Chain A
Amino acid sequence: MNMNRLKYLGILVSLLASTSSPAPVRISNMNDFNMPAWPGSGNLVLADPICIYNSAGTAYSVTVTGSGPGGAFRVTSGALFINFAVAFAGSSGAFANLTTGVARARNNANTTSTNCGGGTNAQMRVTFTNANLSAAEAATYTGLLTVLLQP
Chain B
Amino acid sequence: MIFKIYLAVTLYGLPTLIFAASDGVVGATSTGTASVLMTIPKMIRARSFANFPMGNYNGNGNLNRNDNLRISTNYGTATRTYRVTASGSGTGSAFTITNGTTPLAYNAYFNDATGIVGRIALTATVPLTAQANASKPLSSNTNNANLSIEILQADLQSVDSGAYTGIITLVFAPE
Which A positions have Cβ atoms within 8 angstroms of B?
A: 21-22, 24-35, 37-38, 40, 44, 48, 50, 53, 75, 82, 84, 114, 124, 126, 128, 131, 133-151
Contacts and interface: CB of A to CB of B under 8 A. Distances in A.
Interface string B70-90: 000011000000000000000
Q: Chain A at the B interface: mostly helix, strand, loop or mixed? A: strand
Given A137-B74, A144-B34, A26 B26 contact: yes
A24 B34 contact: no
Interface in B138-153: 138-139
A142 B19 contact: yes
B166 interface: no
Given A140-B16, A148-B29, A150-B29, A82 B38 contact: yes
Contacts of B138: 40, 134-135
Interface stretch (B41-49, B58-66, B106-114): B41-49
B163 interface: no
12 contacts: A26-B25, A29-B23, A38-B38, A40-B45, A44-B38, A82-B38, A134-B138, A134-B139, A139-B39, A141-B38, A147-B31, A151-B29
Given A32-B20, A128-B38, A144-B33, 5 more contacts: A25-B26, A28-B32, A30-B24, A38-B40, A140-B40
Interface range on chain B: under 10, 10 to 19, 20 to 34, or 35 or more?
35 or more
B137 interface: yes
Given A24-B27, A145-B33, A30 B22 contact: yes
Contacts of B23: 26-30
B21 A30 contact: yes
B130 interface: no
Contacts of A138: 40-43, 74-75
Nearest to A146: B33
B33 A25 contact: no
A146 B31 contact: yes
Contacts of A146: 2, 31-33
A143 B45 CA distance: 27
Contacts of B136: 137
B35 A33 contact: yes
A126 B75 CA distance: 24
